[in-house]
Structure 1
Amino acid sequence: MRIAAISVAPVFSEYVIGGSQKILVDMATGLKNRGHDIQIWCTGTDAHDGDFEISEVPVHPDLKLRGSFPATHQVSPVALARTSDVLKKAADWADRVYLHADAIYLRHALLGTDIIRSIHDYVYEEALVSTLSLPANVTVVPSEYLKNCIEVTVALSGRTSIEPIIVVPNGIEVPDSLPSPKLPAGISAREESDLILLFPHRPEATKGVREAILTAVKVQEIRNEQNVRLLIPAYPPGSNFDDAAGSPQEILALAEELGGSDTVELHEWLSPAEMPGYYAAGDVTLCLGSFVESFGLVPVESLANGTPAVCARVGGFRQFDDFDAIRLVEYGNTLASAHAVVGVIVPMPNPSRDEELRSGREKITERFSLEVMVSEFESVITKFLPGERKISLAGNGRLELAPWCEVQDDRIYDDYAAASVQFPELTQALESGNGFVLSDPLLLSASLDAEVRFAVDRGILIPEFVFVKT
């Protein structure tokens, strides 16, 4: 089958920016190896110089968009018109069109085309508008968390139908044996007393740059006999992928402000081939930001290569609650993060650290197989496309916790507010009601009713919806 994979975000031959672009390349390569004629069209940047190939998959950097988020389509009218022409030619060539992370506003160029799209980071305007306003036959997401978020958002917006949303978990290859540790070029070799913390993310505020530095400083206080080093990558020159990303100078200034000048070490952006050795060179990987991850590829990759991770209990990271070598902490709790780092590097008597890592790698193989991911993408893209589902209220007078929220003791954390609010009675009611609470004020105490009304106003409690195939 001829498949046109279209990406608003740029694709590069030498490096990958962000987990979703890695998934695009892995998926396209897998489909190519299965005999499909798949080609990628993406936004061109100053770093591009014509067509190229990745693992024999042709890549055409022909879309005349910005190549950075947000405001991907903020270009000249002529650039939009030419992009529309590129999209039409790609659609005319293909049997199926796959919109990676969607954000293709120029839908008129794809009229009459079967569209399969994926959604990944459900925080950017482009992703939100895509799910609410732009049609697709099927939407693919990497987690149940994101599926629930999209369905509820569409239902709350007043729409009465929605396309099928299919969960295809991100997949990776778990090496049979752990890779040899290899630090990036320009980073000094490990000393015996070093404790190396990794921050393998885009250097953007919500990814947790500040939180990682604060945690590293606190770990240094706790483990003063060791030399704590926090490694942070800088964007490759000219990539301009994310306007919110900090420059090397800004990161170093922040480190000085937070007392981490002796801890933070910047290094060049690494290619996918360099990442296994990089993960293996660290003691702990930090994922402590408020960014609402739809899946959370970094801790999975880290653990697959033998290094435990400490993550904030935000978004898709919560699905790793049963991984002993992935420790989850409340967002913004520096002391808890530091103690989690110390706890995960100290061998535990039952189970041992080695056993935690072995068990974690086995779970990754079972749940997040690259081969399974490619197979499921192939099935979704090439097979029969099901119809839409009808959305209606359950009509039972119950409210439920929004999928972007989590009860944490007597507080409820809201992923999109990046904050928790105390609800002493509501949290108890949700626990006793199996995640539901009645909406009728006549059936609630005055204090519980006040908490319920406040939670509804904040989007923490939502009506219960039903999604039925038509």
Structure 2
Amino acid sequence: MAQGKRIAVFSMTPLFPEMVMGGGQAQLKKVALHLGELGHKLTILSTRREDSQAPFRWHENVEILPCLRFKQPYPEPYFTPLYHIANAMRAVGAAIDAADVHYSHDGGLIFPYVYQRKPTVISLRSIIYPETMQCAFLFQGDAWILPSEHTRDSYHAAVAPFAPAVSERMQAIHNGFDWDFFQYTPPKGIFEVIPRRLSEHPILLFPHRPEAAKGIYEVVQIARKLVYERDWRDLRVLVPRWLDADTAPANRDYYAKLRQTIHEAALDDIFYFHDWINEVHIAEYYSLADATLCIGSCVETFGNTVFESLGCGAPVIAARVATYRDLLPDEHIHRVDYGDMDAATDIADDLLRARQRAPAATLAYLRDNFSLEKMVARYADVIVNARKLPPLHYQVPRLDENTRYRLAPWCYVSAGRGIFHDFRSDYAQNKALLRIAEAKPDGFAGADVDAKSLYTWLDEGYVVPMPRHDSEGLPK
């Protein structure tokens, strides 16, 4: 092959030699290792923590420098002294200047002037964190990778009216997985983290970080129904404790409130908290479960948990929120409307009684459609072949009588419940909005509805204006 390229990578999130803090970092490691194997040399600048300060390597061609002094723990990384921000920009800028191409993973680098001199690929993996959304509205990269169609369509709806040409730089690349690793694995090493006796109980997993939107309080409700209405007295719900559970004030408060809620629900014996699970044991962890719960209101941009759990044979119950609505066909996942605790309890009860693993057809579908090899190859193609493009032109869009509107991509029509709004986590029972959303899914003219209603829908994010060229569609 031709001489390898020098690639400067930015990671707002801390990185570790073995452990990962979330799905985004897991994907970065996979992409970085693939690029390293191809002969490219990566320098990854990441945020420093007390437990991640010394440089290390994932591969002989992949060096990680934990030198950036953004605030820890997350969120609000820019809530740090201004000299830390200045030093970080200097360090990142110097690394980019010494490289052939820049890759920014998971957002956070909100200053375009730092990267605009070199071909730049930006992957945004959130649509809820402020610094990631700032990256979107200030985007001046040459390629923009999103992990799902829902995320791509959402950013397009928000940003394209200001930068119409941005759609030409956007593409969705699904996360991929090593299905030889994420498969049923007889539990053994996991018992170094949790007691072996737990394997004798029916088990539900809640393998998520400490955010209420991930659905832990919904899980408490379901567990109470299962225990006291369905007589699952021996049920156990496993909950990993975040790395900063004892040191970060916000996390201490989170777990204190959660334990109090569990106590008030008379479920102290049902919930079991344990240390965070590292990569080595995660497949065994999923393999322990009778089902995994992803029933919160968090607006996920992909949701690795669903796929990892299914790969290891544990069925998944997921709320119809964001990407969980459509990334998998219905036959491979158990879906409920957000907030429908009765439906979720019924499904959990059935799964606990059946104690069946995910079927072979589901495992085959995952291998065919969410391959690690395909994902890293597509990332490598975009990053290695990135070329410098002219700066995007931004404008202030004007809404007029010719503007057309459509239901926002973060909304969907739920039969019997109304229009669900991902960011509001609730249902609108507005008959006029329901009528036009169902009658004109491809868009409607502003003149089709009264001005007051249109303003309200636009202001609350139920509808979005369509860019003039929207009919051309988005790249796949």
Q: What's the TM-score once normalised by structure 2's chain length?
A: 0.88
Aligned counterparts, 1:420-439, within 5 A: 420-439=427-446
The residue that corresponds to 1:19 in the other structure is 23
Does residue 100 (structure 1) correspond to residue 105 (structure 2)? The answer is yes
Structure 1 residue 180 corresponds to structure 2 residue 186: yes
Cα distance change on mapping 1:310 and 1:184 into 2, 3 Å = farther
Q: CA 1:81/1:278 → structure 2, altered by over 3 Å: closer, same or farther?
A: same
What is the alpha-carbon distance in structure 1 between the residues aligned to residue 236 and residue 310 of structure 2? 19
**Alignment correspondent of 1:208:** 215
Distance 2:76 2:218 in 1: 27
Q: Runs of 5+ in structure 1 lacking a partner?
A: none
Distance 2:295 2:336 in 1: 8
Q: 1:274 aligns with which of 274, 281, 292?
A: 281
Could you list the per-position Cα deviations for residues 139-161 of structure 1 after superposition, in whole angstroms to 9, with x for gaps in the alignment?
111001100010111135x4444
Counterpart contact for 1:168–1:373, Cα < 8 Å = yes
> How far apart, in 2, do the equivalents of 1:287 and 1:327 lie?
10
**Alpha-carbon distance in structure 1 between the residues aligned to 2:270 and 2:194:** 12
Q: Which of 397, 405, 415 is 1:409 aligned to?
A: 415
Partner of 1:36: 40
Relative distance call for 1:362 and 1:394 in structure 2 (3 A) is farther
Residues 281-320 of structure 1: matches in 2 within 5 Å? 281-320=288-327
Paired letter, 2:349: V
Deviation at 1:246, TM superposition (A): 5.5
3-state SS, counterpart of residue 44 of structure 2: strand
Q: Aligned with 2:196: secondary structure?
A: coil
Q: What CA distance in whole angstroms lies between the structure 1 residues aligned with 2:71 and 2:351?
A: 42
Determine which of 137, 142, 148 is the counterpart of 1:143.
148
The letter of the residue matching 2:422 is D
Which of 177, 202, 206 in structure 2 is aligned with 1:199?
A: 206
Mapped to 2, the partners of 1:242 and 1:361 lie a distance apart of: 41
Please state if 1:8 is matched with 2:15: no
Amino acid of the structure 2 residue aligned with 1:306: G
Distance 1:311 1:40, change over 3 A: same
Query: Residues 410 and 422 of structure 2 are in contact (CA less than 8 Å); yes or no, is this contact kept in structure 1?
Result: yes
- Whether the 8 Å contact between 1:194 and 1:226 is mirrored in structure 2 is no
Q: Is the 8 A contact 1:304 1:364 kept in 2?
A: yes
Given that 1:161 and 1:390 are in contact with CA atoms closer than 8 Å, whether structure 2 keeps it comes out as no
Q: Deviations over 1:265-318 (max 9, x none)?
A: 000001112100000001000111111001111010000011011011111111
1:330 is aligned to 2:337: yes
Cα 1:138–1:243 shift into 2, 3 Å: farther
Is 1:50 the equivalent of 2:50? no
- Output the aligned Cα RMSD: 2.9
The answer for the alignment partner of 1:221 in structure 2 is 228
397-406 vs 368-377, which deviates more?
397-406
SS in 1 for 2:144: strand
Identical-pair percentage? 26
Distance 1:71 1:336, change over 3 A: same
Q: Which residue of 1 aligns with 2:457?
A: 455
- Farther off after superposition, 420-429 or 72-81: 420-429
Q: 1:251 aligns with which of 254, 258, 261?
A: 258
Q: Hey, what does 2:96 align to over in structure 1? A: 91
Aligned partner (choices 118, 127, 131) of residue 126 of structure 1: 131
| Corresponding residue SS for 2:224 | helix
Q: Matched residue of 1:53: which SS?
A: strand
Cα deviation, residue 372, structure 1: 0.5
Question: What is the alpha-carbon distance in structure 1 between the residues aligned to residue 245 and residue 439 of structure 2?
Answer: 54
The question of 1:169 aligning with 2:174 is answered yes
Give the whole-Å Cα distance in 2 for the aligned partners of 1:188 and 1:407: 44
SS at match of 2:43: strand
Q: Secondary structure at 2:90's aligned position in 1? A: helix
Call closer, same or farther: CA 1:88–1:398 in 2, change over 3 Å.
closer
Q: Partners of 1:456 and 1:77 in 2: how far apart?
A: 36
Aligned partner (choices 353, 373, 380) of residue 371 of structure 1: 373
Runs of 5+ in structure 2 lacking a partner? none
* CA 306–209 in structure 1, closer or farther in 2 if over 3 Å, else same: same
Per-residue deviation at 1:238? 7.9
Q: Taking structure 1 as reference, are residues 243 and 191 closer, same or farther at Cα in structure 2, changes over 3 Å only?
A: closer
Q: Secondary structure at the match of 2:235?
A: strand
Q: Distance in 2 between matches of 1:60 and 1:451?
A: 52
Instruction: Give deviations 1:156-178, integer Å, cap 9, x for gaps.
Output: 5x444426111110011112862
**Residue of structure 2 in register with 1:358 after alignment:** 360
**Structure 2 residue identity aligned to 1:460:** Y
Q: Which residue of 1 aligns with 2:242?
A: 235
Q: What's the offset of the Cα at 1:320?
A: 3.8
Cα offsets for 1:387-435 (capped at 9, x unmatched):
6699989986643110000110140000011111113353344333345
The answer on whether the counterparts of 2:185 and 2:287 sit within 8 Å (CA) in structure 1 is yes
**Distance across 1 between alignment mates of 2:39 and 2:98:** 17
CA contact (8 A) 1:203 1:232 kept: no
Cα distance in 2 between the residues matched to 1:225 and 1:204: 26
Deviates more, 1:167-176 or 1:117-126: 167-176
* Corresponding letter in the other structure for 1:364: L
**In the comparison of the two structures, how many residue pairs are matched?**
458
Residues 105 and 389 from structure 1, CA distance in 2 versus in 1: closer, same or farther, beyond 3 angstroms?
closer
AA of the residue aligned to 1:20: G
Aligned to 1:79: 84
User: Deviation per CA, 1:190-240, whole angstroms, max 9, x where unpaired?
Assistant: 568722000111021111111112112212234315511110000124897
**SS, match of residue 81 in structure 1:** helix
- 209-218 or 265-274: which moved more? 209-218
